Structure formats: structure tokens, C-alpha cells
Chain A
Amino acid sequence: MDTYRYDIHIHSAVSPCADNDMTPVTIVGTAMLSGLDFVAIADHNSIEHVPVALAAGKAYGIKVVPAIELQTREDIHIVCLFEKYEDLVAFTEKIPFSTRPNEEEFFGEQLIFDEDDEVIGKVERMLLDSADISSDDVPQLIKEFNGVAIPAHIDREGKSMLSILGTITEGYPVVEFSTRAKPEMIEEWSKTHGVIIDSDAHTLASISTRGQIELEEYTVKCFLDHLRG
């Protein structure tokens, strides 16, 4: 067993609230230089930057986990992780995302970058809107695509399943804490749940190396199997 460092909840420039220097290649490169072994770009309701991140991961020698941060009907944020990009795509095709257009002067730009950090487009729909799926239905759906769904930053007030529903519902054996969570809270929850700690970074400086996991093999599959318990 070896210990690996991870940060699997990072926002790239396509998320309207993230810095525009958060290009997929810059994030993966910064993650590698920070000493992370696993990294994931988990944008709000978007997977636009995952392919470039995966290619960058190969080039830099760091494992990139295909991911999305889903916002459910209840305004709950759920980090969804997959072994393969194709599974992530198939999963998102089943999600009824909102089609309301973004108003970038209020919410920010939703820019798409290529592998050379050039802007190649933008996402028109509003990524901060909720998808029309209940958080209760996500565990069942994600199973079909071999993914793992993790309620995000449950130590926070906003968009947290614990704040919004008052509990962590069935089907979520793992919960995520932000790097600002109190150690007592993390300890308490680790008695009943798997626990991960991520940055939810919207800026490069916020990427964290706090998350650690012991694995038998250095693969995304092994990482996800460990989370599944």
C-alpha cells in the first residue's frame, strides 16, 4: 500500500465563478508540480475541459479522474467521478441540464480552452443552474456508468446536502469536506462514512495537497474502488 495525494474537485475557466487562468492544462500542470497524484476538473454541470485535462495528465504523468460537479434540483452539489471519460459522457447525456442562457456580465464567462491555452469557444447555457434531477436519484443512475457520487463540501452552508436536506441520504457512502472544515467534524463523519478532502479551487493558488489516500495500485480504478468501499 502506498499513500497518494489527490485533489479531485477543481474548477476550470468554464465554470463562470472560476478564474480565467484556470485552463485545463494549467490546472493539471500545477497539480503535478504541487505533488498531487490524482487530480480532477469537476466543473459545474460541464465536462468541456475533461478531454484536454486527460491528455495533459498523460503528458505530465499524473492521473486525471473524469468528473463533473452536478447541481441537482434541490441546489445540492454532488461530485461525480468516473473511471472512463466515455462513462462520464454517457452519464451526462442522461442529465436534464437547464437550457437557460448564461448572462456573463452577472455570473462570469464560461470559456473553453484548448491544449495551447487558446480560447476556442464558450458554453452558452447557464452552468450555475440546477439540473432537473433529484439528489435521491443520482446514486442509482451513476451506478449504471460505474461512477461514484459524493455530496460536495458538506461542511459549508451553501449547496451542501447536509445544509439543504439536513442529512446525507441513502446511497452516498462517501462525503466531501472542504479544506476549511473543522477536524472534529471530519472525524465525526469518518465514523460512518468514507471521507475525502478537496479544495473546490476556483483559483490556482487554492489547489490543495491535503487529501491523502492509501491504495494498492496507482490507478483511477483502484481510487474509485477504494471510495466505493
Chain B
Amino acid sequence: MTVKELVQVLDAKVYNLDDEMREVTSGYAGDFLSAVMGKAPTDSAWFTIMNNVNVCAVATLAEVAVVVLCEGVEPDEPLLNKVKMQGVNLIAVKEDIFGAVKKVCHLI
């Protein structure tokens, strides 16, 4: 599915969409950026509650298709500025990680 379709299914709030037609081919859930860096698959949707500017760097490095902030976490200003600058797709949902993944896992 595309990032755009993911946004629709999750009913997510969009903070930055640079490439909404990007294909999401897998997923990853986790908050330890050191783990995400090495393990999140390329073109995955990354579900996290981590709100820190380094989320953007890790998303770029791991080449994830979209960052999904869960549990109503809103990106702080440095993170929001950085994803806009770096062209990283960032969306947010109210559900916790389990709930969000449940909504989309059969589609990815």
C-alpha cells in the first residue's frame, strides 16, 4: 500500500507528507533508536512513541517510508522542522502501537 492509503486507513494526522505515493512494503515497531537504526526495514512504516529530533535522522538512515507517531504523541518543534527539511513522511495517530499496527498489518 502507499503512504497515502496508510494515512486513510489509520485516519492519521499528517505532519509532513513529502512523498505520499511511496510504497510501504513492511513495518517496524520500537522506540530505542539504536535498535531501529539497524533493524527497521527499508520502505517500512515505523510505529513509535519516541518524540525527539533524532527520529528524523534515524528514519532517513533506515530509509523508512513513513514514521507513525502513536498514542497521541505530537512531534516537538525541532522534530517537525527537521522532517520538513529532510522530506521525511511523518504522521500521528491516537491509538497505541498495538492498536495502530492491528489496523494495518493485514494490508502491508
Q: Which residues of A contact B (CB under 8 A)?
A: 73-74, 134-136, 162-167, 169
CB closest chain-B residue, reference A162: B34
B49 CB → nearest A CB, Å: 10
Known contacts A134-B76, A136-B78; is-contact A163 B52 (Cβ 8 Å): no
Specify which chain B residues have a CB less than 8 angstroms from the CB of A169 in the assembled complex: 54
Specify which chain A residues have a CB less than 8 angstroms from the CB of B98 in the assembled complex: none
B56 CB → nearest A CB, Å: 12
CB closest chain-B residue, reference A167: B54
In the bound complex, do residue A164 and residue B33 qualify as a contact, i.e. CB atoms below 8 Å apart? yes
In the bound complex, do residue B76 and residue A165 qualify as a contact, i.e. CB atoms below 8 Å apart? no
| B50 adjacent to chain A (CB < 8 Å) | yes
Specify which chain A residues have a CB less than 8 angstroms from the CB of B35 in the assembled complex: 163
A162 to B53, CA, bound (A): 14
In the bound complex, do residue A164 and residue B31 qualify as a contact, i.e. CB atoms below 8 Å apart? yes
Known contacts A134-B76, A136-B78; is-contact A166 B52 (Cβ 8 Å): no
Specify which chain B residues have a CB less than 8 angstroms from the CB of A166 in the assembled complex: 32-34, 36-37, 54, 57-58
CB closest chain-A residue, reference B36: A166
A163 to B52, CA, bound (A): 14
Question: With A74-B52, A163-B32, A165-B52 given, can you name 20 additional A-B contacts, CB distance below 8 Å?
Answer: A73-B52, A74-B50, A134-B51, A134-B52, A134-B76, A135-B52, A136-B53, A164-B31, A164-B33, A164-B34, A164-B50, A165-B34, A165-B54, A166-B32, A166-B33, A166-B34, A166-B57, A166-B58, A167-B33, A169-B54
A134 to B76, CA, bound (A): 9
Known contacts A135-B52, A136-B52, A136-B53; is-contact A163 B34 (Cβ 8 Å): yes
Specify which chain B residues have a CB less than 8 angstroms from the CB of A164 in the assembled complex: 31-34, 50
Specify which chain B residues have a CB less than 8 angstroms from the CB of A165 in the assembled complex: 33-34, 52, 54
Q: Which residues of B contact A (CB under 8 A)?
A: 31-37, 50-54, 57-58, 76, 78
Specify which chain B residues have a CB less than 8 angstroms from the CB of A73 in the assembled complex: 51-52
A71 to B33, CA, bound (A): 17
Can you name 8 A-B pairs with beta carbons within 8 Å? A74-B51, A74-B52, A163-B32, A165-B33, A165-B34, A165-B54, A166-B34, A166-B57
A164 to B53, CA, bound (A): 12
Specify which chain A residues have a CB less than 8 angstroms from the CB of B34 in the assembled complex: 162-166
A130 CB → nearest B CB, Å: 11
A60 to B50, CA, bound (A): 44
A111 CB → nearest B CB, Å: 32
A24 CB → nearest B CB, Å: 34
A167 to B52, CA, bound (A): 12
Specify which chain B residues have a CB less than 8 angstroms from the CB of A167 in the assembled complex: 33, 54, 57
A216 CB → nearest B CB, Å: 37
Please list the 10 inter-chain residue pairs (A to B) with the smallest Cβ-Cβ separation, ordered nearest first: A166-B33, A166-B34, A165-B54, A163-B34, A165-B33, A166-B37, A74-B52, A164-B32, A163-B32, A136-B53
- Most A CB within 10 A of own CB, among B33, B53, B57, B58: B33
A165 to B57, CA, bound (A): 10
